[in-house]
Structure 1
Amino acid sequence: MSNNSIESPLISAEELVNLMPQPQVKIFDVRGRWNGDPAEAFKAYTQSHIEGAVFLDWTSHFVEPDTPLNLASVANEAVANQSFEALGISEGDLVVLYDDYHHMLAGRMWWAMRFHGFTNVKILNGGWKHWQSQGHPVSSMLPMVSKGAFRAKSNPELRTSLEELIEIKDHINLIDARGVKGYQGRVDDPRSGHIPGAINIPYSEMLDAASGLFKPREALLKIFQEKLPNLATTDTVSSCGAGYSGTVVLLALQQIGMEVPLFDGSFSVWKMDESRPVAKG
């Protein structure tokens, strides 16, 4: 159900410019690509980034270690504490995250930080592309990072596990945020497709194609109401391929005043057991 007291998860480029001089504002560059080389993302960061931003490797922070990324769950509290310390995040900070990949990498880190109890975190609307297009300050200098002191305290209400999903999936709205092709599956791959009953709302529909900005609240509300007529009366869970693009839908839902959980691991975890059915089309 919509709750107007839920704050927007987004911050505009103009708002961030005005906040940048404040020492408690911590900006993180979360650029990269799914299946890309983190070293290439770091190289791009060293060449140019938002002034004062620290590089955040989304493949190693706030994620279960020693597990393939498509199957890795959110980190436990001990591992999350290591990330908060390494990134210099403390109580009272305002964290701003940005990427160049449709907000889904920054979105995953936003969700993971909030899952671990750090709630004063925002996504830069439009990301790196929009920041550059507006001519806002960039730099190649690497800022110093002091040790962070925030201690994780998990909020299980923001995460749906596989076991929980199996129990509730027939009684909820389960969103699949992947593109249409991924959702529909391939004829030559019997384990491709989607979780039976999942409703496809591609993450790309949340964004303006030209600017990369999130669509206005009214447009987002219309999309969800058309796809999910029972949105106001039925519990909703967001999912995708591995728990990344689903966070773009979470951000959009927060924009319309809704807080819903993420099925962590999503379809990649679901399809691992061949006894669990998959649907196509």
Structure 2
Amino acid sequence: MTATGSPHLMDARTACARRRRSVFIEVAPWRVMATGPDPIAGSVPGAILTSVKSDFAGRPTASGGHLPLPEPAAVHATLLAHGVGPGDDLVLYTRRIEELSSAARAWFVLTWAGFRSVRVLDGGLPAWTRAGGWTDRAAQTRPPAPTQDSHAAPSFEIGGGGSSGIGIGGRRVLGITDVQEVADYGTLLDSRPMSAYDGALDDPRTGHVPHAVHAPSTELVAPDGLLRSPTEMRKWFLSRRAIGSHEVGAYCGGGVSSALLVFAGALLGQQVGLFVDSWSAWARDDSLPVEQGAAPTRSTVVDTDCA
């Protein structure tokens, strides 16, 4: 995808040219996304090593999902320990093309927590090396800022965890009630594989949120690991009634693959709310309805124009 001028996405050539002016953050996925040895040795020089589970997720609770949002202050404190502040130019990347959604999850958390300049490297580390970027054997961390208290953080207007609302950076977090309303009156996207969306007949707590539309986030990534063109992505969203002034939301198993739908929506100028707790919380609550089957259903209560 062409990333020129985007406030959210950076192409590899631009990233190479801006290496000394940006803070690169390597994001490891919360689970292994691809088999076999790592095809690329080393990391972007000076990159900070992070992971979804330890840096961009909070502690799970009995009633929530397995990758809840962290507290905003904790996000700031983590990066401040590396000398990184809210005004720095951050570039997020993953080592493999299959892991792009993990960078999108980090983007969501950082912008939600108030970081002002956060971009995802289109195509990740493979695109970086194709563009002539070199790597170090081990990623480095920036030294802690000597004059700042690593426990200090600005005040926030939003709560952490899985609370609903609009974050400082304009990201919308959906709660259970929000999800039900979006499914009934807007468009709720389920980014999991079809097998998870369908559910198993012998397990009534598998399937999807009623009226959710199957929308696997993997389809947004081309074989070369780059995001598909804006035209292709817009058609993809339109085919699922996910472009327009109506409410659009997304979920998956734990708020990672669906974060890529939120990210793609932002590239198109379409706000997509994220149900961070996702299916890992929904299926646990026996009072919440579950729908099974391959054919997506649509609420007949309202039919909002997608123009």
TM norm. shorter chain > 0.5: yes
Distance in 2, Cα, partners of 1:64 & 1:259: 24
More helix by share: 1
Please list every run of 5 or more consecutive structure 2 residues that lacks an aligned counterpart in the other structure: 159-164, 167-171, 294-307
Which residue pairs with 2:296 in the alignment?
none
Q: Which deviates further from its counterpart, 259-268 or 160-169?
A: 160-169
Which residue pairs with 2:113 in the alignment?
116
Which residue pairs with 1:15 in the alignment?
14
Give the secondary structure class of the aligned counterpart of 1:107. Answer: helix
Q: Is 1:278 aligned with 2:290?
A: yes
- For normalisation by structure 1, the TM-score amounts to 0.85
Distance in 1, Cα, partners of 2:229 & 2:247: 23
**Within-5 A mapping of 1:230-245:** 231-245=243-257
Q: What do the CA deviations read for 1:152-205 (whole angstroms, capped 9, x no partner)? A: 635632211224324553112111111211211123322111101111111011
Contact 2:197 2:214 in 1 (8 A): yes
Distance in 2, Cα, partners of 1:278 & 1:32: 28
Q: What do the CA deviations read for 1:195-228 (whole angstroms, capped 9, x no partner)? A: 01111111011110x2010000001011111121
Q: Is 1:205 aligned with 2:233?
A: no
**Within-5 A mapping of 1:1-281:** 7-22=6-21, 25-34=22-31, 48-65=42-59, 67=61, 70-99=65-94, 100=96, 101-147=98-144, 151=154, 153=156, 156-157=165-166, 158-208=172-222, 210-228=223-241, 231-281=243-293
Give the secondary structure class of the aligned counterpart of 1:60. Answer: helix
Cα pair distance change 1:190/1:123, threshold 3 Å: same
Q: Which deviates further from its counterpart, 244-253 or 96-105?
A: 96-105
Distance in 1, Cα, partners of 2:99 & 2:10: 15
- Tell me the number of residue pairs that the alignment of Structure 1 and Structure 2 aligns: 266
Contact 1:224 1:231 in 2 (8 A): yes
Distance in 1, Cα, partners of 2:87 & 2:245: 35
Instruction: Provide the identity percentage.
Output: 24
Contact 1:17 1:136 in 2 (8 A): yes
Q: Which amino acid aligns with 1:14?
A: R
Q: Which has the higher contact order (CA 8 A, sep 6+)?
A: 1
Distance in 2, Cα, partners of 1:264 & 1:179: 17
Q: What do the CA deviations read for 1:41-99 (whole angstroms, capped 9, x no partner)? A: xx979951112211012211132125599523101233223223234321321111111
Q: Which amino acid aligns with 2:228?
A: K
Q: What do the CA deviations read for 1:17-40 (whole angstroms, capped 9, x no partner)? A: 010122xx110111335268xxxx
